[in-house]
Structure 1
């Protein structure tokens, strides 16, 4: 199926493939004095952001960057990121995103697999071990090191230097290391390369469907056109003059790259940048800057509602909140909308799709439990997981496949020095779902998460939805555990709500008994474990893989004890 008209987009609308830096160049020409970034009170206009990106591009060219050179960004949310991102792209480089939460081994694997030659990082002691590993292994040609004080307002910069000196890393003497300020070449005019929209702009690593990290090769066209798709469905785009988005999602993640960075820069919006998500800081930013847009995972919205400062924070300026990364429960959505009077738009996307595939409409029906309708120019097909050539009928559950201008060129192949293209341009997502009347897409589960109980299919999301109906349950996840009799059984992990004084904490037996009335016999968990909190991924969504790994390790220890 193809959609876009359901979002109010005119028939025949198309996006323009362009180099990603062109988003910044055009907005700087239209709105030179408009605020592009706010970082802890220091601001960059569009003209200033473009000037610094061009200065960084000159510095990268001096370091030997050529078209296709891989430049890594190992950065939290500081202005170094957007300046380095657009600067590297202006110089013709391919950006490789690295999470600051990665271990030295994970960083080394990704650097080697991608062929990263230049890395940009900060001089924070807690982030230095992976960089030292890269230097020791000889994987980097150059390491550019910035610091927080150089991006802060004067008073805050002085306070950081005085009070947080121990948090900064003393840099080793190494000719490969240079300072961020040395990279910038203010005012230096260098001829910039011509960038083809088909060139690879970003290698964004993902676990994919195999669990082995793979680099999704996203072209300039993929990223710029996804930004245009998102702008096209916003009825206010072009009409609002001071749109501000809360930039608390990590920019190294594709969700923020598409919905916060490229989308805002395209439309001349402002980004209120936070180094990381903290509910108290987010609420303070809402009070200070009065953003019009929020973007986050459900856990972020929950944390803001539960924070003590929520009572003194008005959300009157917030027009819409984008939620993705994990399903938002109906209870949380209803509560957030009721308390803030802001609309929540749930969407769906993957690393391989440059960010976004579908979203609930701004105007019209926002169908609860669905991820909305496809973006303009996006095709979605539901196919039989066991016979991928067989397309299923509307309403039938199968694997979601996607084709559109935002779908990656393919997975990066270091041995080929290029991506391996997708057959027919169709991406097999590994997600299971179906299409409802009106073109709304409903995600059922990941195919790899489905639990096979003696031949019966059990979808963890359905058991989780039943668990969430228990008034005592705050969050939950369900995974598969081995079972000698039926092969696999579900196991539930639950986080409980705080219990009022004088009330008893629900027992495991009570929770299982309540659940048994809502699910089939084959769906009933073999066990239920109560946790203080669920493990989370880099962007804060509950981490099913971590629980599966924890369960396997526990079983291995138990087996070793029995054998011993």
Structure 2
């Protein structure tokens, strides 16, 4: 039993530590199918599939991949919105012994090429409408097959791609080769996250990491789950680590029904809630904001939801209180990061909530708040330091990046880069970010990546990108720009330039031209000064 650091709040029936079974995600999935075979696993606009039917499709897709030459350890990329084919592809890839490489469907060609080349993916599973984007960079990657998913019945299969249904059909006609998987060593997912170099890096999440975090989530909220009878509102993107684990993997383990929604439209989501009565809703603060401001939201039956999880970005306390008052639900804010599969902390159903904190540690999760300078000395209660974490959910390392891995994983501890405090009850609060990352609508945005695109504009001499407070997105992206002597550019031109090289959520929403930018005595651009200035302006408005 782990002691202290918040574990004193755990009741006797919820373990402070768990024995992670030596099984793969494939095995965990098959256990759930055995228990919940006739329960509904997925819902997609009225079309439902039972756990038994899901396993048949998963095994067929796995065999189909093997028929294309996919073997153990090969990477297969998924670039899909939430849909049944995503779930089939994810578990099918793992069943084949291959590795899932997660790709955001909003990725522009530059980002897409990097992830595909870095991962060495042999196969890409994507939406038919996105296939041309993949084909545009295919020659610069190892991708041999593009499997296209059609969500419309009358869709025409893009030339040069293989229909998803055909891969499943081919798999049904051949035996599935059972692959030996070492849960502790074999990577299950490459979860791409931003990097200090401006290029995303792949967090290697092993089967054991994902099994551990699934069980940690389950046991932490076990009082709220009704195995075999729950319904999870799955509108968080499954390509995002939060959606992957908390919406999909935990729900599959729990025998729940996944309401698969490909994009967040507040009015549509409210109608689905009213009709389908979900019991679980993992979301990000912007989703709660949008639902809160829908007319008559109190009449849509949101009180069917027993647990609303909020993560991905800090949730304003006022928003939490207003949402709960209007809907009759309870929101439990937590914390996670790609490198931890992702969840490490959350407010709980079994101990007092402390709004504004990320709550208590998950079972088997140790943490410390250490000195910002030496990274070793634990700081006293209430003082700021860096949050470092140790547990079975912590990644194996970064894919092909030993130096980045050594900086982030030290003596078994994951250095999060987040500045935090802990109170006398063991509740953690995130007060700032050691890194300069911007979190907008739950998406991580790294200023350097945006700046690199800005510097590609012929009129830009200097640029600094910061996050500024935004009532809806949490933060939004602002760029400060100094133009070259004699050069001209408008805000619209700069934004159009960024749209060509960045995913939509990374594009600066605010542009400010200046004659000079603040610098240190050695000429280093001072991002913090502009961030503080912008925040003060917003706060004073």
Task: Specify the alignment match of 2:149 in structure 1.
Answer: 146
* Cα separation, 1, equivalents of 2:91 and 2:182: 15
Conserved in 2, the CA contact under 8 Å of 1:54 and 1:90?
A: yes
Conserved in 2, the CA contact under 8 Å of 1:402 and 1:427?
A: yes
Shift of 1:391: 2.0
Task: Specify the alignment match of 1:519 in structure 2.
Answer: none
* Cα separation, 2, equivalents of 1:266 and 1:330: 31
Task: Specify the alignment match of 2:66 in structure 1.
Answer: 61
3-state SS of 2:222 partner: coil
Shift of 1:25: 0.4
Matched, 1:47 2:52: yes
How many residues are matched?
461
3-state SS of 2:192 partner: strand
Task: Specify the alignment match of 1:100 in structure 2.
Answer: 105
Task: Specify the alignment match of 1:403 in structure 2.
Answer: 390
| Range moving further from structure 2, 307-316 or 260-269 | 307-316
TM-score calculated relative to the size of structure 2: 0.78
Shift of 1:556: 7.7
What per-residue deviation string (whole Å, max 9, x for no partner) do you get for residues 354-383 of structure 1? Answer: 010100011221101100011010011111
Shift of 1:135: 2.7
Task: Specify the alignment match of 1:132 in structure 2.
Answer: 135
Conserved in 2, the CA contact under 8 Å of 1:145 and 1:178?
A: yes
Distance 1:494 1:51, change over 3 A: closer
Task: Specify the alignment match of 1:507 in structure 2.
Answer: none
Task: Specify the alignment match of 2:180 in structure 1.
Answer: 194
Task: Specify the alignment match of 1:289 in structure 2.
Answer: 276
1:247 to 210, 234, 242: 234
3-state SS of 2:373 partner: coil
Task: Specify the alignment match of 1:28 in structure 2.
Answer: 33
Give matches, 1:498-513, under 5 Å: none
What per-residue deviation string (whole Å, max 9, x for no partner) do you get for residues 439-475 of structure 1? Answer: 100000101349xxxxxxxxx99xxxxxxxxxxxxxx
3-state SS of 2:368 partner: strand
What per-residue deviation string (whole Å, max 9, x for no partner) do you get for residues 311-349 of structure 1? Answer: 531113111100011111111111111111111000000
Give matches, 1:541-552, under 5 Å: 547=508, 551=511
* Cα separation, 2, equivalents of 1:262 and 1:4: 25
Matched, 1:363 2:350: yes
Shift of 1:421: 8.7
Task: Specify the alignment match of 1:90 in structure 2.
Answer: 95
Task: Specify the alignment match of 2:166 in structure 1.
Answer: 182
Conserved in 1, the CA contact under 8 Å of 2:368 and 2:388?
A: yes
3-state SS of 1:413 partner: coil
Shift of 1:299: 0.6
Distance 1:493 1:398, change over 3 A: closer
Provide the aligned C-alpha RMSD in A. Answer: 3.3
Structure 1 alignment gaps of length 5 or more: 150-156, 162-167, 451-459, 462-476, 480-487, 498-541, 560-564
1:344 to 331, 337, 357: 331
Where do 4+ consecutive residues of structure 1 move more than 6 Å?
A: 418-421, 488-491, 556-559
Task: Specify the alignment match of 2:15 in structure 1.
Answer: 10
Distance 1:249 1:495, change over 3 A: closer
Conserved in 1, the CA contact under 8 Å of 2:16 and 2:362?
A: no
* Cα separation, 2, equivalents of 1:221 and 1:382: 26
Distance 1:309 1:130, change over 3 A: farther
Task: Specify the alignment match of 2:297 in structure 1.
Answer: 310
Structure 2 alignment gaps of length 5 or more: 440-444, 448-463, 474-503, 519-541
Conserved in 2, the CA contact under 8 Å of 1:202 and 1:217?
A: yes
Matched, 1:447 2:431: no
Conserved in 2, the CA contact under 8 Å of 1:35 and 1:44?
A: yes
Matched, 1:264 2:251: yes
Distance 1:420 1:215, change over 3 A: farther
Conserved in 2, the CA contact under 8 Å of 1:7 and 1:233?
A: no
TM-score calculated relative to the size of structure 1: 0.75
Shift of 1:12: 5.1
